[in-house]
Chain A
């Protein structure tokens, strides 16, 4: 696609529910990144994919968070048993290769009630 696409744009859910966030990167981009941004804060790195593999999962905050990427394209970030502190904007970025500029989607704003 022309840009990085994320869905849903907004998600409101109850504490304890599972959520899935989707990222469709720019066509041909092999590297894909997930970040989290809490209100008024900078970006927090979560996970990075090169193709379908995730060489760096160091940023995932707990074992409730997981991510996968299939076909070297679309990625899904899953949060199980959501907590209120999971409320944030989740941003996805992609780049042609790891060393190239990262381009961001508009994010998913997640609110946990």
Chain B
């Protein structure tokens, strides 16, 4: 099956900093989602991005399917950005294959 690797596993930043989170996957995928799980456990859908670049406020994502990776950019970090960021490529059966996540802590 598809293997998903997210990096870095942990990231601690000061408020206002920018960050790049990476998701590598081992095989071709039908699609890919990025999620944010906040400290209360809620999973929020950030992007649905099979290829190309999308932006939503301070967040943007880029997927290069041919090279089997996706990047999530967070600019001007805020403490509310803290939590775990998961990427989930979809396999040939449209099942989400979950990475282990990047735990992000934004310090005030």
A residues with CB within 8 A of B = 33, 37, 42-43, 45, 48, 56, 89, 91, 93, 98-104, 106-107, 109
B47: min CB distance to chain A, Å = 9
The answer to whether A101 and B41 touch (CB under 8 A), given A42-B100, A45-B96, is no
Chain A residues with CB below 8 A from B66, complex form: none
B100 touches A104 (CB 8 A): no
Q: Does B13 contact A (CB under 8 A)?
A: no
4 other contacts beyond A42-B86, A43-B98, A99-B90, with CB at 8 A cut-off?
A42-B98, A42-B99, A42-B101, A104-B43
> With A and B bound together, what is the CA distance between A66 and B90 in angstroms?
24
B48 touches A101 (CB 8 A): yes
Chain B residues with CB below 8 A from A48, complex form: 95
Q: Does B45 contact A (CB under 8 A)?
A: yes
Chain B residues with CB below 8 A from A33, complex form: 96
Q: How large is the interface on B (under 10, 10 to 19, 20 to 34, 35 or more residues)?
A: 20 to 34
B88: min CB distance to chain A, Å = 8
Residue of chain A at shortest CB distance from B30: A99
A-B interface, 5 closest residue pairs, ranked by CB to CB distance from nearest:
A101-B48, A104-B43, A98-B94, A43-B98, A42-B98
B45 touches A102 (CB 8 A): yes
B33 touches A101 (CB 8 A): yes
Interface centre among B44, B88, B96, B101, by most chain A C-beta atoms within 10 angstroms, is: B96
